Structure 1
């Protein structure tokens, strides 16, 4: 999902800090049949795009192991307001940030996501009948319920091209991550028969700090 979160709490000059603010997210899973790689899953039709609105709160503890590192705890909660899944998600996470040198910094995050019954039913339930498929291809019926949906880990590395992360400017950024679907998100035939509950991603890019 793509989204935006705002922190409305000013940071203190030093010491522990808090964050809180609204967040907005677009969830476009299976909204375009042409983007669904599996023909069997595609035969179960498109879903509506969810517009999720909620909030994010967190606390950050600086200078744990060195003068420049930090440890953060965050909690995001969102609700669909567009009439798609009509449910909610809750995502707690922890993040450790530290410089590796004057030019390079790293951030390691652990996270998990919980969903309610409405969300699980919309994305993971499978009807017992599908007239668009021959009988051998019809997936078993499945009624999904809420609970833990996934957990995962992300690693971000950033290298400042000027050789000094404190002066801003251009940086090379690499992100890698792994997540695992659990509970009914893993047990649904969409995942257990036609998919994979292990998800990986990697991305490279350029960032600019003012």
Structure 2
């Protein structure tokens, strides 16, 4: 990863917000163990402002797609409130093992921490925080299904835990599925984001292209 790589992945820019196409396999910020992160390269996205943009939300290391950055403090405050209020629409594409029998539905399962030793790993927990995910089948193969997933809440690992809990884990998921070894990579992509940033105007809608590591699995499902 280089600054030039990140510049080429810019999907949207205005006075308040940037949206980049995050590649899979890189953390958005440094964790306790350090290592390279996307934030290391934010200086190339200043576009004349005195400070680097900053993350308005997070994506998992192995998830690709639309990532929103605020260009300055006031922008981050506005975006943070929109995310907190659930006003930002997010659609993910995923390829799952097996797949649901129906063509669409709602997952309504609360989530909590798996245990204190597992960091941010999560589980379905009746006493946990409410978590809801809309899903719709985009296509199927003999052994997999391509889904559009819309999280109505923003819990850690929500889509991954919900899919696994219903018996169709996301392909390549090393934590909640059968993806240990990760040869194909996590088949989860933040495909589209919708941000109602400006009063009296249509929401900003941005889509991220399908990443290379998901094209084969999606094609097998007819996409």
Give TM-score scaled by structure 1 length: 0.30
Question: Per chain length, whose mean CA-contact separation is higher, i.e. which structure has more relative contact order (CA < 8 Å, sep 6+)?
Answer: 2
Which one has a larger percent helix, Structure 1 or Structure 2?
2
Which one has a larger percent strand, Structure 1 or Structure 2?
1
Give TM-score scaled by structure 2 length: 0.29
- Tell which structure's C-alpha radius of gyration is larger: 1
